[in-house]
Amino acid sequence: MYAQPPPPRKGEKTMAKPMLISPISRQGIKLLRVAAYCRVSSSSADQLNSYATQIDYYTRLAKKKKNEWNMVEIFADEGISGMKAKNRPEFQRMIRMCELHQLDLIITKSVSRFARNVKEALEYVRKLKLLGVGIIFEKEGINTQSLGDEMLLNTFTAIAQEESKAISQNQRLSIVKRMELGIYVDSNAPYGFRLENKQLVEYPPEADTVRWIFRSYLNGMSTTEIAKVLTERGIPTKNGKEKWKSTKISYMLSNERYIGDCHYQKTYRDTTVPFKQSKNRGEEDMYYATGTHASIIEKETFDKAQVLLQKRKEQFTKSITFNTYLLTSRIRCSECGSFYRRKVRSGGVKWVCAKHEENTKSCNSNYYSEERFYDGFLSVVNKLRFGQENILGQVIAKLESATQKYKRNNKTAMQISQKIAEINATILKLNELRSKGYLAPEIHQSQVREMQKQLCTLKEDRQDQFESRILTMLQDVRKLKTLIDEIDEPLYEFDEKLFEEIIVEMALNNADELTVTLLGGLKFTELI
């Protein structure tokens, strides 16, 4: 028998016995909303099989974790490089779901499956952390919700990045070797061809159009006229678009593939991350192989087209005066605010800050070749072309939302709309009285005419109320998106017309950073 504890002394407080709290049952805990992300880096049969295996694995894993997880979706990008996240549509869709707070946890096989770019990997991890979404990297045993795992993630991502660079370099060496031998075949078949057994073969419906383009151009039609005719006839472009552009026609007329030859490495990719595609101006070796595939155009016809293209280009160049140079009043110095001037020097056409030219001590800017500005323009255009939905689409959506909010909150415009509605109701009433014979035709006509005038004035007043900076920006960005949508292939050659249509201004600083201002006030910065 145990001794009883002594009774408490006078004035001494007794300690209450701790109360037992039973553990919460699993049923009372909210299931985590989980998504799995998998990716294969090629469309080869083996890797597609791997892709199917990954999906099967995550499906089975979700069943095992059914008391903890609610598997919302399995995201998978097939045959897409992991270097740039923006080029992975399923990855971007997963991120959008996280932004909408529809996911709690992402599980993926390894860091290399998630990203091979250190900068992007950390950016997305931190972004998702702020949204309350964790990531489990199974292979490395990393959970981003755990303290200290970011250092490990940084290390593994750096390894994955170097691995990607090595793979890319090996692939590049293999491609260059095949270029040297004249046996390399690009996976992107030009209009008029199709790829069959890794060979370019003629595709008759499109090949006939190619022949017509060359005939029409040599018979005196301009590239603009040819594009217009093709659009009117309803002939789709290679990408299935209805509208043709003159730049596309010019590109086709100068494409040596139509005579059965290949000019390899017109563009090249640098070795820095993220990889950037640039026009080859002598930085890398080029190769020209003849008779690599069947021709669509006779060489004599092709050569005549090249002579005519060059002749018309020279005529266009001669028609340009000092006051009409494309870059005149377009390049502003970020240091002093002055515009750049065009100068012809021994090294070619250069542009220099006007203030710097007058007095080098007044501004520290420098001389820049014209080509560098053109390259900056091409880089911005190609970025917009590849990521227009993520960039321009989001901008348009936000501007539309802001415009609707502006309209709702604009009391004057709302009052005008009310007046317009009242006048329309009155016109309907007058029409009803006229139809029943209660109103003479001449009186009805006179009164309706007067009210129509009032409607016209009110609608103009209402439009004036809506003409805000936001609405103007929206219209400009929509126009910009339309122009970018019309670009079927990456731009490698400078497009004067497109430049005039979308470029508002360029600003250059001493760090060689070119800020390009586009329609709608959108700004992009490029190193030139």
Nearest CA to 270 out of 352, 197, 357, 169 is that of 169
**Whether residue 158 sits in one domain with residue 205:** no
pLDDT tens digits for 228-275?
A: 999 988 898 887 788 888 888 988 998 888 988 887 666 655 544 444
| Average pLDDT, 10 consecutive residues per value, the chain (528 residues) | 58 59 50 84 50 75 85 73 64 87 88 70 81 85 66 52 53 58 67 84 90 91 90 86 86 88 66 52 65 86 90 65 67 85 81 85 84 87 77 79 62 66 78 81 83 77 58 81 81 84 85 84 81
- Give pLDDT, residue 107: 92
Task: Indicate yes or no: pTM above 0.75.
Answer: no
- Give pLDDT, residue 211: 93
CATH number for the domain that contains residue 308? 3.90.1750.20
- Give pLDDT, residue 259: 87
Does residue 8 form part of some domain? no
Nearest CA to 75 out of 46, 47, 51 is that of 51
Residue finishing a domain among 259, 284, 318: 318
**Whether residue 384 sits in one domain with residue 492:** yes
Rounded to whole angstroms, how far apart are CA atoms 238 and 214?
Answer: 17
Residues 6+ positions from 116 with CB-CB distance below 8 Å: 81, 82, 83, 157, 160, 161, 163, 164
**Whether residue 299 sits in one domain with residue 218:** yes
Share of the chain above pLDDT 90, in %: 6
Residue 201 domain boundaries: 182-318
Does residue 12 form part of some domain? no
Neighbours of 232 (CB within 10 A): 9
> What does residue 26 show for φ and ψ, rounded to 5 degrees?
-60, -30
- Give pLDDT, residue 274: 45
- Give pLDDT, residue 342: 87
Residue finishing a domain among 441, 463, 478: 478
The structure tokens listed for 134 are: 């964790």
Which H, E and C letters describe 186-228, residue by residue?
Answer: CCCCCCCEEEECCEEEECHHHHHHHHHHHHHHHCCCCHHHHHH
> What does residue 492 show for φ and ψ, rounded to 5 degrees?
-110, -20
**Whether residue 471 sits in one domain with residue 484:** no
Does residue 150 form part of some domain? yes
**Whether residue 503 sits in one domain with residue 358:** yes
**Whether residue 232 sits in one domain with residue 372:** no
**Whether residue 296 sits in one domain with residue 427:** no
**Whether residue 33 sits in one domain with residue 159:** yes
The length of the chain is 528
Residues 6+ positions from 252 with CB-CB distance below 8 Å: 190, 191, 210, 213, 258
Does residue 174 form part of some domain? no
How many domains does one find in the chain?
Answer: 4
**Whether residue 498 sits in one domain with residue 485:** yes
CATH number for the domain that contains residue 140? 3.40.50.1390
Does residue 4 form part of some domain? no
**Whether residue 127 sits in one domain with residue 56:** yes
The structure tokens listed for 153 are: 């993630």
Does residue 504 form part of some domain? yes
Does residue 9 form part of some domain? no
Nearest CA to 384 out of 236, 238, 523, 528 is that of 523
**Whether residue 216 sits in one domain with residue 343:** no
- Give pLDDT, residue 226: 92
Does residue 1 form part of some domain? no
Give the DSSP letter string of 355-413. HHHH-TTT-----EEHHHHHHHHHHHHHHHHHTHIIIIIHHHHHHHHHHHHHHHH-HHH
Residue finishing a domain among 165, 199, 217: 165
**Whether residue 309 sits in one domain with residue 451:** no
The structure tokens listed for 388 are: 């227009």
